Structure 1
Amino acid sequence: MKSSDSKEIAADLAANTALLEIAENLGLSALLDRGVPFDLSAAARTADVPEAGMRMFLDALVSAGLIEPGEADGRYLPAPDLADRRYEAGYLSWSLNANRPYLDHAALFLRDPEGAGARYQRDGRRVAVSSRWIGSRGFYPGVIAEITARKPQRIVDLGAGAGGLLIQLLTALPDSTGLALDLSAGACDEAEKAARRAEVGDRFEVVHRSIESLIDDPEPVRGADLVHAGFVMHDVVSDPDVLHGVLRTVRESLTRDGCFVVTDAVPYVGNSRERAFSALFSYLHASSMDVRLPTEEHWREALGRAGFREVSSEPLGMPGSRVFVAAV
């Protein structure tokens, strides 16, 4: 790749990320995700801003190629590659915006991780939104295929964030119900709103709790046919007893034919496709979150020790990510 080509790609990625974050903050993502034409009035109402201001922003989206103007009816249509461009933007949004406190206070986190962690926390909503963008191509497709093939009636998503994965599952499985559990109040609020917009709110429950709390009160996972944990189990690996307690609680709460699907990252993957983002992901978790990502072998051993059988793992699209499937 020529240097000039790389610079153009970098410039496009930066601009797309900023414009898509503005669209997200204006509440326009749901409108864009429908993939159907919309007009200026609908966009202005959705964002609750004057039409003159919205026209200015839509003009910018048109100029960037993120949306296309209608032929003559004054309506707009999302660009065919919008989903792909949002997926790419997700990596930049997660790296630079969702993790901003860790970047701005890097030295303090290396000097005094505990004190820095108490003073500076990430914005849960930004983490959830950027994770959803990455997940749309990086890990949702593989996980959704694995889960929908099993047709579970009751699904629980631990560390559900803004609810993107669970909403897609309930949309694909109209006879199923789901529960989203997350520690971030902001993410839980986003999940409730997103479920209503997707018209699955009547089958969608949100619980604002930590996964560690399941050890003492397993009610959220009791009777589930399938439990999924997305990039949250690594938060408890530093305490083997807590990790074992959560895994055992999930296993004992699942139905007889149930399974536990863990989507997570493994550390410092060395191949050329995964190495750069895996390095950042591994470093930020170790230096700023006090999380040492477990290896694939560690995950297999921990799941087996908790009583699961037939533990398998596969790589996903996001560099460093893996999906583990453990049967009861």
Structure 2
Amino acid sequence: MEIRSAYSQSARTEVAELRDADLINTWQQFQTSTMPDLISAMHLCHAIHALSDTGLLQRLRDGRNSAGTGLLEGMNQRIAANVLRYLVIRGLLEEWQGTYTLTYKGELLTSEISLARLGFYVEAYGPVTQRMSDLITGKAVYGTDVQRSNGPLSRHCGTVFAKYYTPIVREAMAGRGAKRILDLGCGAGQLLIDVCLSDPEVTGVGLDIAPAAVEVAREQARRHGLEDRLEFVVGDAFDPASWPEVCNGVEVISGIGVLHEHFRDGDQAVVDILDAYAKVLTGEKMLLIGEPEPYYDDRENDSDFFLMHVLTDQGFPVDRSDWADVIERSRLTCRRVLTRATAGPRMCFYDLAPRG
């Protein structure tokens, strides 16, 4: 160990600098491991979520961007002010004479899609990842001891669906001249609301197993003035024989991201559900199944998406070639596969109809 001594000019206090090659090497290993970056990313994610969840983000955007204009009203002002300072350090905010504004980086990180994707993992699946050790060891069981938060899940998925998936559903419907749609596992009803807002002639029905989600969807429809065109009912999306009468008479049945969970019970479980759907696809009805197409790589959060399915013991999403095999074994045939060429989460929509 090397020791270098010096004296402060003001107090003549000795300052001893210690230099230890082993400690330097240990610290450099820690820095090179990228663990500091992972820690920073974790904390920044939670800070961004808090900025949005507390209403501070909306206040900044509304012009209430200083203590004098009410930015910190109702907050623990000392903590809130220092969290804002942290966000200045991280480059999301700029501060000038007590006034805060979002930087370009801050705008991007708090965009509608960025917050939805963040909320999917932090808010909806946060209760699951926080219990990862217990799930791995078997001290906790998903569905009994641990649950994802379905309210935030529906809300954040709805935001992503509106941007990337609703246009595909509209394209599929337009190709058939269809005007009435049944959405399976409708959640908060965002897909149906967006489709109806884009076409005044469309009506629809949303079906979800969760009564709370159905109530939220009904309220959302009322807020948009669509209560006369949309109905939401409680029901099992995978048991067509039990569907309420209002589900009859639709021209398109859509289900986005609802079927792959059944792969945990084997391919035949999915084939059986498709066969059950085939029985209700009378006349010119179309079944439009939208499913993630992961490549199981580390691009576009595929690895994170995979981990959520691991921890919740769901069936893993499969690619279009595997879906083709499953559909071939069912009583349905695939007429088209619709997908986005470049932008958005990887998703394929399968246009299905009964075999002739």
Say whether the fold is shared (TM-score over 0.5): yes
Give the unaligned 5+ runs of structure 2.
1-38, 75-83, 85-92, 94-98
Q: C-alpha separation between the residues in 1 aligned to 2:196 and 2:171?
A: 13
Q: Distance in 1 between matches of 2:71 and 2:200?
A: 35
2:139 and 2:174 map into 1 onto residues whose CA distance is 40
Q: Does the C-alpha gap of structure 1 residues 176 and 320 become closer, same or farther in structure 2, counting only changes over 3 Å?
A: closer
Instruction: Determine which of 152, 162, 167 is the counterpart of 1:141.
Output: 167
Determine which of 253, 276, 285 is the counterpart of 1:249: 276
Question: CA 1:326/1:134 → structure 2, altered by over 3 Å: closer, same or farther?
Answer: same
Give the direction of change, closer, same or farther, for the CA distance of 1:309–1:83 in structure 2 (3 Å limit): farther
Matched position secondary structure for 1:152: coil
Shift of 1:65: 5.2
Shift of 1:56: 4.9
- The structure-2 alpha-carbon separation of the partners of 1:118 and 1:304, relative to structure 1 and needing over 3 Å to count, comes to same
Partner of 1:305: 329
Corresponding residue of 2:305:
281
Distance in 2 separating the partners of 1:96 and 1:112:
23
Q: Show the 5 A alignment for 1:33-112.
A: 56=73, 63-64=100-101, 85-112=111-138
Q: 2:184 aligns with which of 158, 161, 176?
A: 158
Where relative contact order (Cα < 8 A, 6+ residues apart) is larger, the structure is 1
Unmatched segments (≥5 aa) in structure 1:
1-6, 33-37, 41-51, 67-80
Query: Which position in structure 2 is the counterpart of 1:3?
Result: none
More helix by share: 1
CA distance in 1, matches of 2:172, 2:54: 33
Q: Give the corresponding residue for 1:260.
A: 287
Specify the alignment match of 2:255 in structure 1. 229
Q: In 1, Cα distance between the equivalents of 2:244 and 2:277?
A: 8
Partners of 1:173 and 1:319 lie apart in 2 by: 25
Please give the per-residue CA displacement for 1:24-47, whole angstroms capped at 9, x wherever unaligned: xxxx9xxx9xxxxx999xxxxxxx
Q: Deviations over 1:184-243 (max 9, x none)?
A: 333222211111111111111112222223255575643321011011111223334542
Deviation sequence 1:142-179 (CA, Å, 0-9, x none) = 33333344342320001111111111112223223211
Task: Tell me how far 1:9 sits from its aligned partner.
Answer: 10
- Give the stretch that moved more between structures: 92-101 or 282-291: 282-291
- Between the aligned residues of both structures, percent identity stands at 21
2:120–2:156: 8 Å Cα contact kept in structure 1?
yes
Secondary structure of 1:89 counterpart: helix
Root mean square deviation, CA, Å: 3.9
TM-superposed deviation, 1:10? 9.6
Partner residue of 1:203?
Answer: 229
The CA deviation string for residues 263-306 of structure 1, in whole angstroms up to 9 with x for no partner, is: 12134444x7xx24112112211332332223322322333333
- C-alpha separation in 2, matches of 1:84 and 1:97: 15
Q: Which residue of 1 aligns with 2:32?
A: none
Q: CA deviation at 1:13?
A: 7.2
CA distance in 1, matches of 2:278, 2:139: 33
Is residue 179 from structure 1 mapped to residue 183 from structure 2 by the alignment?
A: no
Contact 1:313 1:322 in 2 (8 A): yes
The structure number with the bigger radius of gyration is 2
State whether residues 120 and 157 of structure 2, in contact with CA within 8 Å, keep that contact through their aligned partners in structure 1. yes
* Paired residue type of 2:206: A
How many residues are matched?
284
Moved over 4 A (4+): 7-17, 52-57, 60-66, 81-84, 215-221
Partner Cα separation in structure 2 for residue 10 and residue 100 of structure 1: 12
